[in-house]
Structure 1
Amino acid sequence: MVSSFLFILGLFTVSHVHAASPVVQSKAGVYHGRYLSEFDQDLFLGVQYAPKPLRFAPSELARNTPGKHYNVTQYGTDCLGYGSDTNLLVREGWTKLGEDCLHLNIVKPRTNQTNLPILLWIYGGGWQQGATSDPRYNMSYLVQQSVLNKKPVIGISINYRMAAFGFLYSQEIASSGNQNLGLRDQRTAFKWVNHHIAAFGGDPTKVTIWGESAGAYSVGDHLNAYNGNAEGLFRAAILESGGAIGPPINGTEWYQAMYNNLTASVGCSGADDTLQCLRTVPYETIAPYGYQGLEWFHVIDGSLVPRYGEESLIRGKFAKIPIILGTNTDEGFGVNGVNTDAQAVEQILTSKRWNVNETEAKKLLELYPNDPTLGEPYGWGNRTWPENGLQWKRYQSIATDLTMYAPRRLLAESMSKYVEGVYSYRWDAPKFNSTPNTIGVNHFSEIPFVFGNTNQRITPLGNSSANIELSKRVMRMWTSFAYDLNPNGHGVADLPNWPQYSKEPSNFVFRADRSYVEDDTDRTEGVAFINTIIR
């Protein structure tokens, strides 16, 4: 795990706190931040939006303490650190993590403008790991580009509980109403921003929520939450490689087995109230089992997740707001070792990510033939990687469309029926990497570009002028969208216009050599069939 100290050292190499350090007085408290001279930005790090929550219970918005002073110059405790080695953390006594971790960070440009729009980041990591202190999510470069484009925004990133601590589920959890705690943490953070960001110069009516992977799925859940009631907490959204459908939100038997294993592992299986017993187990005892070897996802709870995501989209029960959404060309959600039709069907049926029956699985094989020229990674012709499986490219295509591509198209189609300002993309950079271990444009490929961190120890942009220029362009598009709901206000002369999806079902294709617009017609029949499966 990257410590807060190393993170700050990596980001702010020569900066220091001096007399210009910012102070903000608000109803929440008096916040003493730090000034980042390299970017001319004020930072408020580790701002607590909720006190330490009761384990396996919802968080509560931090109370107002208008006269209390807070030093917010360092990142707060991670809920679960980026790249954390759980064995190492066990040996260190889990001192790098904690349950008092519900903090957010604010990056504000020094500008004469007030009422700045907000771009609020929700990290991914499968809802199993992640942290705002991950240096790949440094928002200073992004905010800097917004200023250079004369459309300044405030960047905010939020921590939330993950793995069992944020998404534990069982009959016991359901009966106590404690589902989807990580998502509820995010909603609590939204409310803190709504109540207090004006004191920092932000406009609470102009919040764009933004996430990638599990962060984008989180955004999709907030679109569907409470039958589409955004509660005035956000006006727009950006979803990178994730959407409003899946991953699994049923599977009660699966979750119950994991819950039972957890209680047995920490000595609570014989308790009269196993949930209460789990709350009393010391953190260093339960943490290894809460984070290791288990995958906890969101579930239907009747309110924040009211129903299957696809049902919400079909019924129009979602927040109708402008969005940017997209996927990478070769997301790569298949598995190795698929050699036959029977194995492909077996993998589709046994995956916990999809709610697909055998008839539907066999239909998918018809719609996605075992033709390597059609499989993923796309654009490689007849080339195959038999060591990954004789039907690896076929299964990769099916898995990616089930997980990412088809849900992206359904959300774009559904949202564009109600609002303008729907912009869809396909990320296609870098392209055709011939390195055997880096095949295609995979999941997470866009992250170095959208954050633009040029520290070569952290991101792979390197010295490539084409990569750096593409990074600046996409950062300006994202911040321009947050500023006035139009990604075309980027100020770059040589880019094609990005059309609204409602007027022209299309994708803006991001490439380092030449970006362009394409019709959104790839794998039409297969994607249409996938979007009839309720999941």
Structure 2
Amino acid sequence: MGQLTLYLLWSCLATAPSASPVTHSKAGIFHGRYLPGFDQDVYLGIKYAPKPVRFSSAILTKNAPETNFNVTQYGVDCMGYGSDENILVAGGWTELGEDCLHLNIVKPRTDLSGLPVLLWIYGGGWQQGATSDPRYNMSYIVRQSAAINKPVIGVSVNYRMAAFGFLNSIQVATNGTQNIGLLDQRLALQWVNKHISSFGGNPSKVTIWGESAGAYSVGDHINAYGGNNDGLFRAAIMESGGAVGAPLNGTDWYQRMYDNLTASVGCADAEETLECLRSVPYETIAPYGYQGLEWFHTLDGRFIREWGQTSLTTGAFAKMPIILGTNTDEGFGVDGVNTDTDAIKQLMYSKRWNLNEMEARRLLELYPNNPALGEPYGWGNRTWPQYGLQYKRFCSIATDLAMFAPRRLLAEEMSKYEPVYSYRWDAPKFNNTPTTIGINHFSEIPFVFGNTEQQITPLGNGTENLGLSTLVMRMWVSFAYDLDPNGHGVSGIASWPQYRQNSSNFVFRTDESYIEVDDDRAEGVAYINSLVR
């Protein structure tokens, strides 16, 4: 076989539909993977930052235009636990977990350039999560974008979590390294801004998208630096979270957690406790660094300069079109609330609320102990005394504090400047059973990712579930594509109005979705939104 024949054969194989994709950029030469079942090119585990110094801000990966990178597998999860086959260390913790700042790119195989970008930030209480989680597989939603001729590029990012991303104390504040998990996300956005055009994306058409702690992160990026987003994104989607809600506790709150961590790993008596924590082997510190769902974002005077309510009511946020919403029964209550005294104690001293006694008592007045009015909603007078005699009452208060009231405040304030599309999710996450109460937190995730194959939160193959999943995925990509969720191409669906037109929500249901006026619990929500938390 002659050289010309070999060359022609190689050329045909290299350009065949099944050929592995290669992208040349200033960041390097990336060798990805082709997914024939989706007709997509994927680039997995792209490092946007080298391994950072523990409890320090990361730096952007240096350009390496001539360096080849194999990006066909997900990178290491930031949890750094040895159960993953890539980091198997006898089932224990591995320091590879600190070298986890990767992002993934999923794109339809198309010759088009300038595609909008839909960038996912996972939730998990800033405590857990990973882009490799099959529940967050972006291939399904990217496939829907191609199906309605509005192709988008999907991007998902890893970031440091728990103590490794959100440590705070007097020592940390002095060092200026609070909120480094959020700064990791910001660095990933900067990488996308610099390099996504090489993959066919448009850096001026990025929509950031998250759920729960991911949605709070999106809200933080909207409020960050007084509302200066440096052109890193033009729109946002926030599911069950936003720019207000999770406590922005100061160093006093976190000092106890910091002191417990130093004591647990033998650094309490060190002259420089932060430096001591940096020198402790990862497998020693990791089990303590991931304990408890208490690692929240914090006021740092730089990235997060002020309370979320202050940012919103003074206009100190980045103005842009947004989609945001909550699930009917988010379920952010506390078990064991039996009396008014129990409720007041939780509202005053819980890590989530931190209200004073006057505020707590006023909330009890606004949310009477009437089971018919409580959450989960729509269950009448049914109660669950095993969870507390005031379970439904406290769930209503807690959910409105954490989710529902902040969602309304953001919709009201943002809609003064830009289009806002607000929703309420009213479909169970899968095959509701007597042990699953209401439409709770995370219920929408199987639908918006549409993964019918994975088993953790299965969507199933029922016609109604699949139909709703198709609708919400197409709404999300339509919004990312042209900033309007109504270009989804599904017939028989009510038009989703902008919030400023009539203060309404689009209600997602498996039987028939509809539009409702956004006036539930108006007095209680208004009072919550008058508080600075």
TM-score, structure 2 normalization: 0.94
Aligned to 2:491: 493
Aligned to 1:517: 515
Q: Cα offset for 1:347?
A: 1.1
Q: Cα offset for 1:251?
A: 4.3
- 8 Å contact kept, 2:478–2:486: yes
Q: Does 1:77 align with 2:76?
A: yes
Q: 1:449 aligns with which of 432, 447, 450?
A: 447
Aligned to 1:214: 213
The count of corresponding residues between Structure 1 and Structure 2 is 516
The one-character-per-residue Cα deviations of 1:383-425 (angstroms, maximum 9, x if unpaired) are 1111111110000000000000000000000001112x20000
Amino acid at match of 1:136: R
- Determine the C-alpha separation between the residues in 1 that align with 2:68 and 2:217: 32
For structure 1, the 5+ residue unaligned runs are 1-16
Aligned to 1:476: 474
Answer with 37-46 or 302-311: which moved more.
Answer: 302-311
- Determine the C-alpha separation between the residues in 1 that align with 2:131 and 2:218: 16
- Determine the C-alpha separation between the residues in 2 that align with 1:71 and 1:90: 23
- Determine the C-alpha separation between the residues in 2 that align with 1:90 and 1:74: 19
Aligned to 1:59: 58
What SS is found at the alignment partner of 2:221? helix
Change (3 A) 1:446 1:358: same
- 8 Å contact kept, 1:90–1:288: no
Q: Cα offset for 1:341?
A: 1.0
- Determine the C-alpha separation between the residues in 2 that align with 1:388 and 1:273: 44
Q: Cα offset for 1:482?
A: 0.2
Q: Cα offset for 1:435?
A: 2.5
Q: Cα offset for 1:96?
A: 8.7
How does 1:382-421 map onto structure 2 within 5 Å? 382-419=381-418, 421=419
Q: Cα offset for 1:246?
A: 3.2
- Determine the C-alpha separation between the residues in 1 that align with 2:142 and 2:402: 31
Amino acid at match of 1:207: V
The one-character-per-residue Cα deviations of 1:424-479 (angstroms, maximum 9, x if unpaired) are 00000029976232010000000000000011524321121100010000000000
- Determine the C-alpha separation between the residues in 2 that align with 1:202 and 1:121: 15
Aligned to 2:3: none
Change (3 A) 1:55 1:18: farther
Q: Cα offset for 1:378?
A: 0.2
What SS is found at the alignment partner of 1:312? helix
Change (3 A) 1:81 1:490: farther
Aligned to 1:13: none
- 8 Å contact kept, 1:79–1:160: yes
Q: Cα offset for 1:267?
A: 1.3
- Determine the C-alpha separation between the residues in 1 that align with 2:249 and 2:237: 26
What SS is found at the alignment partner of 2:510? coil
Q: Does 1:25 align with 2:6?
A: no
Aligned to 1:250: 249
The one-character-per-residue Cα deviations of 1:37-96 (angstroms, maximum 9, x if unpaired) are 0000000000000000010000101000000000000000100279989xx999623149
- 8 Å contact kept, 1:433–1:439: no
Q: Cα offset for 1:379?
A: 0.4
Answer with 304-313 or 116-125: which moved more.
Answer: 304-313
Amino acid at match of 2:205: K
- What is the identity percentage for the equivalent residue pairs of Structure 1 and Structure 2? 71
- Determine the C-alpha separation between the residues in 1 that align with 2:437 and 2:82: 22
- 8 Å contact kept, 2:24–2:30: yes
- 8 Å contact kept, 1:77–1:97: yes
- 8 Å contact kept, 2:134–2:454: no
What SS is found at the alignment partner of 2:337? coil
Answer with 378-387 or 515-524: which moved more.
Answer: 378-387
CA RMSD of aligned residues (A): 1.9
- 8 Å contact kept, 1:167–1:180: yes
Change (3 A) 1:260 1:18: farther
Q: Cα offset for 1:355?
A: 3.3
The one-character-per-residue Cα deviations of 1:147-174 (angstroms, maximum 9, x if unpaired) are 0011000000000000000000000000
Aligned to 1:329: 328
- 8 Å contact kept, 2:451–2:458: no
Q: Does 1:526 align with 2:524?
A: yes
Aligned to 1:6: none
What SS is found at the alignment partner of 2:441? coil
- Determine the C-alpha separation between the residues in 1 that align with 2:56 and 2:373: 47
Q: Cα offset for 1:534?
A: 0.1
The one-character-per-residue Cα deviations of 1:78-123 (angstroms, maximum 9, x if unpaired) are 00279989xx999623149510000000001012321000000000
What SS is found at the alignment partner of 2:530? coil
How does 1:279-428 map onto structure 2 within 5 Å? 279-293=278-292, 295-419=294-418, 421-428=419-426
TM-score, structure 1 normalization: 0.94
Answer with 450-459 or 481-490: which moved more.
Answer: 450-459
Answer with 336-345 or 369-378: which moved more.
Answer: 336-345
- Determine the C-alpha separation between the residues in 2 that align with 1:54 and 1:157: 23
Q: Does 1:229 align with 2:228?
A: yes
Amino acid at match of 2:194: H
Answer with 262-271 or 178-187: which moved more.
Answer: 262-271
Aligned to 2:6: none
Q: Cα offset for 1:296?
A: 1.1
Aligned to 1:100: 99
What SS is found at the alignment partner of 2:60? coil
Answer with 512-521 or 256-265: which moved more.
Answer: 256-265
Change (3 A) 1:359 1:457: same
- Determine the C-alpha separation between the residues in 1 that align with 2:218 and 2:82: 23
- 8 Å contact kept, 1:127–1:162: yes
What SS is found at the alignment partner of 1:193? helix
Change (3 A) 1:517 1:371: same
What SS is found at the alignment partner of 1:287? helix
What SS is found at the alignment partner of 1:42? strand
What SS is found at the alignment partner of 2:209? strand
Aligned to 1:462: 460
Change (3 A) 1:67 1:91: closer
- Determine the C-alpha separation between the residues in 2 that align with 1:526 and 1:82: 43
Q: Does 1:167 align with 2:166?
A: yes
- 8 Å contact kept, 1:432–1:440: no
What SS is found at the alignment partner of 1:373? helix
Q: Cα offset for 1:214?
A: 0.1
Aligned to 1:197: 196
Amino acid at match of 2:455: R
For structure 2, the 5+ residue unaligned runs are 1-15
